[in-house]
Amino acid sequence: STQADRIRIIPSPMTPMTLASRTFVHRAATTKYLSRCLFPCRRNLSSCSALFNPTEEHEALRSMLRTFVEREVEPQAHEHNKTETFNLPLFQKLGTSGLGFLGLTVPEEYNGTGFIDATAVAIAHEEMSYSDPGFCLSYLAHSILFVHNLAINGSHEQKLRFLPDACEGSKIGGMGMSEPNAGTDVLGMKSAAVYDDEKKGWILNGTKMWITNGTITGEETGDIFLVYARTGPKKGDVTQFIVEGGMEGFSVGQKNNDKLGMRASPTAELVFENVFLPEGTHVVGEVNGGMLCMMRNLEIERVALAAMGIGIARRCVDEMKAYAGERGAFGHTNLYSFGQIQRHVAESYTDYMAGKCYVYGLTNGLDLETHGNGLDSDGVKLYGAQMSKNVADRAIQVMGGYGYVGEYTVERLWRDAKLLEIGGGTNESHHKNMARDLRRMGINKLD
């Protein structure tokens, strides 16, 4: 059946957040009812609505996620940020037996939802980041860097073996690329795997750094990872491997604590000491073909990170305009009487809407099974990262001392937004990539 033919029940505002089916849902009447119940003050649909929610299924997805975030994600965000702890039980509610979002872009035969669609990915990351970007970052590492990556690049047998548990949430995954001395310079990696003829497999040695979901407990490694390592003498001789928690020689070097932001998302150094990886089951794609796997997944990763920036900015605009409307000063009943505040609110909304249009303008035409959209995947990430941090900064300025403390949320979002300028590609790497691509266009005119 097609996506439009499938039915998944959207919970009413008075029932628990559960799903009666594993396939994606939309009932138009239910969605309209939900919109009236959940968002009674929602403005009339603008001409941009079709861009942000191009189908009824996308609108249903957004409504479902917004309800889940309001009920489940928002109440726990502050505490898990404060304690630097990962909310595993909540994360598992996103699995197949709950909402079914851990395998959002995975075909149903591998226990996924089958919504193989870049706009759906953007909606999921925007909505979750509205309340808890740290929680969303762990979702991205699992659902995009591991699950989606394997769904695109893995063999049928690998997908059958590894994806069902990951989509269920009983196994938490991630991806290992960066190293202590190789971040943006990814081909400078030192981790290497050497083929063992007798064992019919690869022996992996090296270290990976800043790995999201690298550890859940702080002591043991996470459950499963896609790891890039050198496998030949040429610069591009890189291969992607599946490494499972519990494999001999695979351990946590350290948990990265006391981070500036994204504190509810666990980050760790992972160490590989003579880890044996069978050639028939744990090599993803072709040997020395890891760069293709990387490129196929990099674009949607950057789109997801850009969408996180949109969610952060939307929340900050909501917070600053609410505060400005309630706080009186100098004999005025609210802050909207002051030009400086007017500028902060108006420019923040404009920046947010420009970024959102850029993100969804790209995703509505993006094919998740191809690559070659690097210019704009870099572009949305570059714009979304800087924009979200700037909007969060303005929100703090509007709210003054209240914006500076954790109770009022925006200081956490400002800290979280900074990671978007570093992770998944630094601002400087996007500048380099975009300038290169624009130069290659030569005298060809932009559309």
Active-site position among 84, 301, 319, 411 = 301
Amino acid residing at 387: M
Distance from C-alpha of 46 to C-alpha of 66, rounded to nearest angstrom: 19
Task: Pull the structure tokens for residue 256.
Answer: 């990265």
Nearest Cα to 218, choosing from 246, 254, 248? 254
Task: Pull the structure tokens for residue 368.
Answer: 């998740």
- Which residue has tokens 């628990």? 16
Indicate the pairing of strand 250-255 with strand 224-230. unpaired
Cβ density class 39-50: b for 16+ within 10 Å, e for less = eeeeeeeeeeee
Whether residue 98 contacts residue 18, with contact meaning beta carbons closer than 8 Å, is answered with yes
Q: Got the DSSP string for 107-124? A: -GGGT------HHHHHHH
Distance from C-alpha of 145 to C-alpha of 149, rounded to nearest angstrom: 6
Indicate the pairing of strand 267-278 with strand 192-196. unpaired
- Whether 301 sits among the annotated catalytic residues: the reply is yes
Cα separations in angstroms, 320 against 239, 310, 329, 412: 47, 15, 15, 14
**How many C-beta neighbours within 10 Å does residue 424 have?**
24
Task: Pull the structure tokens for residue 324.
Answer: 């400005």
Cα separations in angstroms, 319 against 36, 80, 345, 407: 22, 20, 10, 12
SS3 label, residue 389: helix
Task: Pull the structure tokens for residue 381.
Answer: 């990430």
Nearest Cα to 212, choosing from 139, 104, 320? 139
Distance from C-alpha of 378 to C-alpha of 430, rounded to nearest angstrom: 5
SS3 label, residue 253: strand
The length of the chain is: 447
Q: Which residues are known to be catalytic?
A: 301
